[in-house]
C-alpha cells in the first residue's frame, strides 16, 4: 500500500426529510446565497423546502448554472456575492451546481488576478474559500463529499479540473427521495459515472491494498445490481435510490483512492469530448473506458484479471480471453444502462481526432494514467479504437 493522508471534513446528513436539518446545519447568522441550475430545483419543490428550512436567515437565489458549468456564469455569481456580501453559499443540484459553487467559493476571495488561474493551476493557488453546503439532487459525481470541481471556459473551449483543501463542503444533505424526479438518462449517467470513478482508482496495478480493493469491488457490485433495476422500476424504490446515492458519494470521497495508484485518463480524455462536442460527462466515460482498458491491457493485466474474476465471475480461458471478456462485460453493462459506447453513436467521426488530441496537448494532458504512459499518441489510439 502507498503512503497516504486522509482527511474528509464534510458532514453528511443522509435520509428522507433531511432538508429540514438546514435549520441547524447553516450558521444562524449567515447571509446565504442559494445557487441552483435550470428549472429542476424550483419545479420539484426542493427549492421551496430549502427556503423554508432557512427560516429567518437573509437569503437570495442565483439560478442558471448550466450542466458542465461555465466560468462565465460562475463569474456572474462571484460579482453578485462581492457586491451584496453573502457569507455562506448553498448549492442545490447535481455535480454541476456543486462544482460551480466550489469555484465561486474560491474565486470570491481570490486576489491574484483572473480566477480562471485557479483552473490553470489546478487549485494550487487557492488560499481560502467561502464556506458552503450542498443539497444533492443527482447522485453521480461525488462532488458532495470531495474537494474537486470541473469548470468549462466557454470562450476557450477548455474544461479543466481543480481541487483544494479549502473546497470541501461543510455539509451535504443526501435525501434519496430527491432523485425521484430524475429522468432515466440522468439516473444511467449517475450509475456509469460512479462506476468509472471506482474503476479509475481500482483498475491500475496491485499494491496489496486489500481494503481498498474489496471496498471498490463492493461499490462495483452494488452499481451493477441496482443500476438496471433503477431503470426498470415502474415507481422509484427508496432503498435502490439510497444505495445509488451512497455508492456514488463513496466512490469519490477519497476513501477508495487512499493509498492506491490512480488512473483518471478516461476522465481527462472524456473532458475534451464534453468541451468540444457537449456530450454528457458519463457518456464520454462509457465511450473511452472500454477502448482505454484494451489499449492498456498489458500495464493493467493483473488488475484486469482480478476485476474479471471478482466482478464478472470470469475464470476460464487464457488470460487474454479473460481480459477480452471483462472489457466486453463492461461495455455491455453500459449499453444495458442505455448508454452508447461508440463515438459514432454521438456523431463524432475520425476527422475529430486530430482536434481532440491537440486539445489534450494544449491542456497539458500529455502523460496520463497511473504510469504516466498515456502520451498524445496513445490517446489518439484510444480515440480511434472508440470510433
Residues in contact with ligand NZQ by CB under 6 A are 37-41, 44, 67-68, 93-97, 99, 137-138, 140-143, 146, 148-150, 178-179, 181-182, 186, 189, 193, 252, 267, 281
Q: Does 99 bind Zn ion (CB under 5 A)?
A: no
3-state secondary structure of 204: coil
Q: Which residue lies nearer to Zn ion by CB, 158 or 268?
A: 268
How far apart, in whole angstroms, are the C-alpha atoms of residue 212 and residue 317? 27
Residue 269 CB, shortest distance to ligand NZQ, in Å, is: 12
Binding partner of residue 181 among Zn ion, ligand NZQ, none, CB under 5 to 8 Å per kind?
A: ligand NZQ
Asked if 22 contacts 173 with a C-beta cutoff of 8 angstroms, the reply is: yes
What minimum distance in Å lies between the beta carbon of 193 and Zn ion? 4
Q: Judged by CB, which is closer to Zn ion: 161, or 299? A: 161
Q: How many residues does the chain have?
A: 387
* Residue 49 binds Zn ion, judged by CB under 5 A: no
Report the nearest approach of ligand NZQ to the CB of residue 364 (Å): 17
Interatomic CA distance for residues 355 and 373, integer angstroms? 21
Contact 253, 263 (CB under 8 A): no
Neighbours of 127 (CB within 10 A): 11
Phi, psi of 173, deg, nearest 5: -95, 120
> Residue 165 touches which of ligand NZQ, Zn ion, none (CB < 5 to 8 A by kind)?
none
We find the least distance from the C-beta atom of residue 146 to ligand NZQ, in angstroms, to be 5
Rounded to whole angstroms, how far apart are CA atoms 368 and 266? 9
Q: Which residues contact 286 (CB under 8 A, 6 or more apart)?
A: 192, 196, 334, 339, 340, 341
The residue from 175, 193, 272, 295 that contacts Zn ion (CB under 5 A) is 193
CA end-to-end distance (rounded Å), the chain: 37
Please say which residue, 30 or 251, places its beta carbon nearer to ligand NZQ: 251
Residue 164 contacts which entry, ligand NZQ, Zn ion, none (Cβ below 5-8 A, type-dependent): none
- Indicate the residue among 281 and 322 with the shorter CB distance to ligand NZQ: 281
- In the bound state with ligand NZQ, the residue whose beta carbon lies nearer, of 58 and 276, is 276
Amino acid at each position: 500500500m502507498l503512503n497516504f493522508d486522509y482527511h474528509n471534513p464534510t458532514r453528511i446528513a443522509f435520509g428522507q426529510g433531511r432538508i429540514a436539518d438546514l435549520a441547524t446545519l447553516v450558521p444562524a447568522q449567515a447571509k446565504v446565497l442559494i445557487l441552483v441550475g435550470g428549472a429542476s430545483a424550483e419545479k420539484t419543490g426542493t427549492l421551496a423546502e430549502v427556503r423554508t428550512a432557512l427560516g429567518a436567515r437573509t437569503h437570495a437565489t442565483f439560478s442558471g448554472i448550466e450542466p458542465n458549468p461555465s466560468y462565465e456564469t460562475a463569474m456572474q455569481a462571484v460579482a453578485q456575492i462581492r457586491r451584496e456580501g453573502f457569507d455562506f453559499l448553498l448549492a442545490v443540484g447535481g455535480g454541476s451546481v456543486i462544482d460551480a459553487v466550489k469555484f465561486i467559493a474560491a474565486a470570491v476571495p481570490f486576489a491574484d488576478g483572473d480566477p480562471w488561474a485557479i483552473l490553470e493551476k489546478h487549485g494550487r493557488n487557492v488560499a481560502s474559500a467561502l464556506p458552503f453546503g450542498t443539497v444533492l439532487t443527482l447522485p453521480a459525481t461525488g462532488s458532495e463529499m470531495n474537494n474537486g470541481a470541473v469548470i468549462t471556459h466557454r470562450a476557450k473551449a477548455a474544461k479543466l479540473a481543480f481541487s483544494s483543501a479549502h473546497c470541501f463542503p461543510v455539509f451535504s444533505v443526501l435525501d434519496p427521495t430527491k432523485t425521484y424526479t430524475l429522468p432515466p438518462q440522468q439516473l444511467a449517467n449517475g450509475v456509469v459515472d460512479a462506476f468509472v470513478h471506482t474503476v479509475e482508482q481500482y483498475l491500475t496495478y496491485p499494491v496489496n491494498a486489500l481494503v481498498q480493493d474489496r471496498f471498490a469491488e463492493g461499490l462495483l457490485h452494488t452499481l451493477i445490481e441496482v443500476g438496471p433495476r433503477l431503470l426498470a422500476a415502474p415507481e422509484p424504490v427508496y432503498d435502490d435510490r439510497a444505495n445509488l446515492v451512497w455508492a456514488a458519494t463513496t466512490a469519490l470521497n477519497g476513501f477508495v483512492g487512499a493509498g492506491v495508484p490512480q488512473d483518471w485518463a478516461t476522465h481527462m480524455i472524456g473532458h475534451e469530448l464534453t468541451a468540444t462536442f457537449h456530450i454528457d460527462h458519463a457518456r464520454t466515460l462509457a465511450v473511452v473506458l472500454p477502448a482505454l482498458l484494451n489499449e492498456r491491457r498489458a500495464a493493467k493485466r493483473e488488475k484486469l484479471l482480478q476485476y474479471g474474476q471478482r466482478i464478472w465471475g470470469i475464470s476460464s480461458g487464457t488470460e487474454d480471453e479473460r481480459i477480452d471478456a471483462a472489457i466486453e462485460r463492461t461495455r455491455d453493462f453500459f449499453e444495458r444502462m442505455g448508454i452508447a459506447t461508440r463515438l459514432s453513436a454521438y456523431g463524432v467521426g475520425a476527422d475529430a481526432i486530430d482536434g481532440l488530441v491537440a486539445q489534450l496537448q494544449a491542456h497539458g494532458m500529455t502523460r496520463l494514467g497511473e504510469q504516466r504512459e498515456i502520451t498524445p499518441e496513445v490517446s489518439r489510439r484510444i480515440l480511434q479504437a472508440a470510433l
